[in-house]
């Protein structure tokens, strides 16, 4: 149903990458994975994913910096960014809301809820 | 009263005695003058008369001469006049009033027989008149033919003659006038003295002088007495002032000492203090703030506070506080001095200094460098964020994997098994993480203590290696032992040291690819027991080496991040080594391997030592 839609999962934890990747694939999304912000940013530029699911605490480039970098790209090509966060930092919600097409997902998150949010972005109704 | 009458009598006696002496002197002077006149008159007459020849007196001319003589004697001084011949017989003679004078014989004999001018005097018996007699021989052709005698009577002088009375009256007038003038002059002269006395009395306090009674009712006595009393009071006052001065000097000394001590205390305080008066002029700045402002004390004293601090933010804050009631409560803002202390954050507090009536007498501005507190706060916040992230990661995995299993999305049995394994692993990861966090917490509060005992290193080596042998076998990693012939003994907390070494061995196993080698060596060097863990793993980048012992640090190397890790293991290991007064260091080369060395001081072991 959404075979042409690509989701990029960026997390330094392999188990999270694995479970999110599996869940998305089951729901028909093409999945790209990256271990850190730097690798993720490269894939955003080269593979132009429709949705980016990213952690915040990552090596090299963290989630916040990645958002700032991709915000400029979204002017030309809009895409959704979902930030997986513990929402501990008091200003976290503020800076996420200031970004274009960016929403947060509180940890520990539900993969089913993640799919629901992505589907809603694409206008797909879950049965 | 009695004293003043006595004084008046004494003065009167002196006055009368003075008058008497003066009058006597006047009489004596008069007598001298009369005697001198008589002497002149007598000498003149006795010198002239013998020039006439004797015959003149023996004839009718003699009577004529006597008449002339009597006429000449207007003052009626002549008592008698005689001319004698050589035989002593009176040739011619006369007496005043015609009566014979009782001239003593000795006088007459000496006069009749005199050969030269002779002056002699005597007092007449009865009348007590004093007679001056002048006698001289008479010559004719060189022969003595007789003698001439002239007796002049000294008039009795009255002490109270009109002349004397006039003189006395004049003198009395002058004395009176002089006394009046003197009185007036003295009164005038005493006036300033009286003023001084009165002023002194006033200056000394009326109350104290009110009780003083001045003896005498004159003018000088009260003044002198008043001056004496005033002087006494002044002397007492001076003594009191001297005592007070000494006390004050002593108090000043104490106050100066206290002030210096307070200044020293203020200077030793590790934050800035500025004290200003109600006009916002600087009264004191402590050394910390002077150093921060890069100014000397002289450059800031009495200068406006805003000029000294030169920070608009702080000036605005102080002005804002002025708008509120002077409650004395400290308010604060955070500000910076970018030119003076770049990068540092300061907390500026201000409090009003109040007197006993709670009126503002000035301000105190405190400048506290909060940089380290802010950094510590940031580090703490960062630590909490890190811990939350580390805890939420395995929790997220547990939740995600179990949710997918529960939703029946994993149909393949092998995959189901993998999912269950993952949930199990993540649970262990979570509990390990919590244990590590507890250890870190113990280290942070300093409650981690060592239970030292004798450690047999041969047994210790096997203990440690046995914990990784099974996993090593799975990855086909060889474990080599590099052990000495004689194992050193060690005094240490065996369990903690074992945890530290196992951390190193676990990391070596985790970050060494399959078919690699881990070498565990033990030795002794400079009274230190050394443990070496060497692997043929991925290695650590040179720029990351200095950070590997920091809490939560994890390498950015993907081969490392793919493995489960919290970034706490090495920091705990380093802390355990530090507690043993040991050393830890790491050498590494990317793609070649890593060697960690722990050195623990080899303490002498005594039975019963802890």
Q: Encode pLDDT of B568-588 as tens digits.
A: 889 889 988 988 899 999 999
What integer pLDDT is reported at residue B70 of this predicted model?
Answer: 84
Q: What's B374-440's CATH class?
A: mainly alpha
Shortest distance, CA A59 to any CA of chain B (angstroms): 5
Cβ contacts from A onto B, under 8 A = 76
Single out the residue of B506, B552, B525, B528 nearest to residue B602, CA to CA. Answer: B528
Strands ordered across the beta sheet of B90-95:
B90-95, B78-85, B143-154, B130-140, B118-123
Residue A84: list chain B partners with CB under 8 A: 396
A98 interface with B at CB cutoff 8 Å: no
Q: Which candidate from A19, A107, A109 shows the least CB-CB separation from B401?
A: A19
Higher pLDDT, B180 or A89: B180
Q: Mean pLDDT across chain B, nearest whole number?
A: 84
User: Out of A68-77, B78-87, B206-215, B468-477, which region has the weakest mean confidence (pLDDT)?
Assistant: B206-215
Give the tens place of pLDDT for each residue, B367-401. 888 888 888 888 888 778 778 888 888 999 999 99
A53 reaches B (C-beta below 8 A): no
Mean pLDDT of B64-75: 84
Which member of B381, B384, B399 has the closest CB to residue A110?
A: B399
User: Residue B407 is nearest to which of A12, A15, A112, comparing CB atoms?
Assistant: A112
DSSP output for B454-493: EEEHHHHHHHHHHHHHHHHHHTT-EEEEE--SSPPEEEE-
Residue A28 has pLDDT above 70, yes or no: yes
Calpha distance B511→B507 (Å, rounded): 6
The pLDDT of A54-70, averaged and rounded, is 88
Q: Do B389 and A56 touch (CB under 8 A)?
A: yes
Per-residue pLDDT at B33 = 87
Question: Which of B189-193, B197-201, B404-408, B595-599 is predicted least confidently?
Answer: B197-201
How far from B166 is each of A104, B25, B160, B169, B202, CA to CA, in Å? 143, 15, 10, 5, 52
Residue pair B315/B304 in contact by the 8 Å Cβ criterion: no
Most confident of B123-132, B164-173, B478-487: B478-487
Among B residues 548-567, those touching chain A with beta carbons less than 8 Å apart: 554-556, 558, 561-562, 564
B404–A107 C-beta distance less than 8 A:
no
- Report the C-alpha gap between B470 and A111 in whole angstroms: 35
Q: By percentage, how much of chain B surpasses pLDDT 70?
A: 94
Span B269-369 CATH architecture: 2-Layer Sandwich (3.30)
**pLDDT for B235 beyond 70:** yes
pLDDT score, position B111: 85
* Per-domain residue ranges of chain B: 15-154, 269-369, 374-440, 449-601
Q: Does A56 touch chain B (CB under 8 A)?
A: yes
Is the pLDDT at B354 greater than 70? The verdict is yes
Q: Check the CA dihedral A33-A35-A41-A43 and report its sign.
A: negative
Q: Which residues of B touch A26 (CB under 8 A)?
A: 409
Distances (CA, A) of B552 to B220, B567, B589: 105, 4, 22
Residue range A22-41: average pLDDT?
93
Candidate from A73-77, B51-55, B160-164, B422-426 with smallest mean pLDDT? B160-164
Check residues B427 and B30 and name the one with the higher pLDDT.
Answer: B427
The beta-carbon neighbor of B389 closest among A23, A35, A57 is A57
What pLDDT score does B330 carry?
A: 59
CA quadruple B419, B422, B427, B433: dihedral sign: negative
Is the sign of the CA dihedral B564, B566, B569, B570 positive or negative? positive
Task: Give the lowest-confidence range in A112-121, B27-36, B97-106.
Answer: B97-106
CATH topology of domain A6-92+105-122: Rossmann fold (3.40.50)
Same fold, B15-154 and B374-440: no
Asked if the model's pLDDT at residue B219 lies above 70, the reply is no
User: Is A72 part of the contact surface with chain B (CB cutoff 8 Å)?
Assistant: no
Say if the Cβ atoms of A16 and B398 lie within 8 Å: no
Name the class of domain B449-601.
alpha beta
Residue A127: per-residue pLDDT: 54
B residues 64..83 contacting A (CB < 8 A): none
When comparing pLDDT for B438 and A54, which is higher?
A54
The Cα of B443 is separated from the nearest Cα of chain A by a number of Å equal to: 24
Mean pLDDT value across residues A22-43: 93
* Cβ atoms B501, B462 nearer than 8 A: no
Is the per-residue pLDDT at B608 higher than 60?
Answer: no
Facing residue for B404 by CB, picked from A57, A59, A111: A111
What's the confidence (pLDDT) of residue B211? 46
CATH architecture, domain B15-154: 2-Layer Sandwich (3.30)
* Smallest CA–CA distance from B560 into chain A, residue: A12
CB contact under 8 A, A111 and B403: yes
Nearest to A26 among B386, B397, B409 (CB): B409
The residue ranking higher by pLDDT, B18 or B206, is B18
Distance of alpha carbon B322 from the chain centroid: 35
Q: Is the peptide bond before B373 cis (omega within 30 degrees of 0)?
A: no
Whether B536 and B516 have beta carbons less than 8 Å apart is answered as yes
Domain positions in chain A are 6-92+105-122
Half-sphere exposure (Cβ direction) of A94: Cα atoms closer than 13 Å: 3
A42 interface with B at CB cutoff 8 Å: no
Q: What is the pLDDT of residue B598?
A: 93
- The rounded distance, in Å, linking the Cα atoms of B383 and B386 is 5
Average confidence (pLDDT) over B131-157? 86
Query: Is residue A28 less than 8 Å (CB to CB) from chain B?
Result: no
Which pLDDT does position A52 carry in this prediction? 95
């Amino acid at each position: 149903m959404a075979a042409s839609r690509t989701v990029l999962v960026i997390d330094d934890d392999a188990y999270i990458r694995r479970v999110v990747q599996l869940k998305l694939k089951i729901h028909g999304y093409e999945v790209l994975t990256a271990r850190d912000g730097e690798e993720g940013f490269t894939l955003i530029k080269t593979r132009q994913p429709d949705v980016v699911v990213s952690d915040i605490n990552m090596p090299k480039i963290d989630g916040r910096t990645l958002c700032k970098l991709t915000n400029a790209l979204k002017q030309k090509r809009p895409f959704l960014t979902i930030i997986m966060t513990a929402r501990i930092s008091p200003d976290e919600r503020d800076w996420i809301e200031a970004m274009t097409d960016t929403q947060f997902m509180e940890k520990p998150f539900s993969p089913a809820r993640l799919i629901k949010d992505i589907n809603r972005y694409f206008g797909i109704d879950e049965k | 009263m009695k004293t003043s009458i006595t004084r008046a009598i004494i003065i009167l006696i002196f006055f009368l005695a003075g008058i008497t002496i003066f009058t006597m002197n006047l009489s004596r002077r008069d007598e001298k003058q009369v005697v001198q006149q008589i002497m002149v008159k007598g000498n003149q007459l006795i010198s002239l008369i013998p020039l006439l020849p004797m015959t003149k007196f023996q004839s009718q001319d003699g009577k004529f001469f006597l008449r002339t003589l009597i006429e000449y004697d207007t003052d009626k001084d002549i008592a008698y006049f005689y001319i004698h011949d050589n035989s002593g017989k009176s040739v011619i003679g006369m007496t005043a009033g015609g009566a014979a004078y009782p001239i003593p014989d000795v006088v007459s004999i000496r006069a009749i027989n005199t050969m030269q001018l002779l002056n002699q005097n005597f007092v007449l018996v009865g009348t007590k008149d004093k007679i001056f007699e002048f006698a001289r021989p008479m010559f004719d052709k060189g022969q003595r033919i007789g003698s001439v005698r002239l007796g002049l009577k000294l008039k009795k002088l009255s002490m109270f003659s009109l002349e004397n009375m006039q003189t006395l009256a004049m003198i009395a007038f002058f004395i009176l006038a002089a006394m009046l003038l003197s009185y007036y002059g003295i009164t005038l002269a005493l006036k300033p003295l009286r003023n001084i006395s009165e002023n002194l009395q006033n200056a000394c306090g009326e109350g104290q002088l009110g009780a003083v009674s001045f003896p005498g009712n004159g003018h000088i006595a009260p003044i002198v007495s008043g001056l004496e009393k005033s002087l006494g009071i002044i002397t007492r006052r001076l003594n009191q002032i001297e005592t007070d001065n000494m006390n004050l000097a002593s108090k000043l000394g104490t106050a100066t000492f206290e002030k210096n001590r307070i200044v020293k205390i203020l200077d030793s305080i590790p934050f800035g203090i500025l004290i200003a008066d109600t006009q916002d002029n600087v009264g004191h700045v402590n050394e910390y703030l002077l150093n921060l402002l890069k100014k000397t004390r002289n450059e800031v004293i009495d200068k406006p506070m805003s000029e000294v601090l030169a920070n608009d933010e702080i000036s605005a804050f102080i002005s804002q506080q002025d708008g509120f009631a002077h409650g004395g409560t400290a308010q604060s803002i955070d500000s910076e001095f970018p030119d003076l202390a770049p990068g540092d954050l300061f907390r500026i507090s201000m409090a009003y200094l109040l007197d006993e009536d709670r009126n503002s007498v000035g301000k105190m501005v405190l400048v506290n460098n909060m940089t380290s507190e802010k950094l510590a706060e940031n580090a703490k916040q960062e630590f909490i964020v890190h811990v939350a992230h580390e805890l939420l990661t395995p929790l997220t995995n547990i939740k995600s994997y179990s949710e997918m299993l529960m939703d029946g999305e994993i149909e393949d049995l092998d995959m189901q098994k993998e999912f269950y394994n993952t949930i199990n692993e993540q649970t262990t990861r979570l509990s390990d993480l919590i244990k590590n966090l507890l250890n870190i917490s113990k280290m942070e509060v300093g409650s981690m203590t060592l239970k030292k005992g004798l450690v047999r290193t041969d047994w210790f080596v096997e203990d440690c290696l046995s914990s990784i042998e099974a996993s090593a076998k799975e990855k086909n990693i060889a474990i080599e032992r590099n052990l000495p012939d004689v194992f050193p003994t060690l005094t240490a907390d065996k369990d903690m040291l074992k945890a530290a070494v196992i951390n190193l061995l676990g990391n070596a196993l985790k970050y060494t690819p399959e078919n690699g080698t881990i070498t565990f060596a033990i030795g002794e060097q400079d009274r230190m027991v050394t443990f070496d863990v060497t692997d043929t793993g991925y290695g650590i980048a040179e720029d990351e080496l200095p950070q590997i012992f920091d809490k939560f640090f994890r390498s950015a190397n993907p081969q490392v991040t793919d493995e489960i890790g919290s970034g706490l293991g090495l920091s705990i290991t380093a802390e355990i080594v530090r507690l043993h007064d040991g050393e830890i260091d790491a050498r590494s080369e990317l793609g070649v391997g890593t060697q960690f060395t722990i050195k623990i001081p080899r303490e002498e072991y005594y039975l019963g030592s802890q």
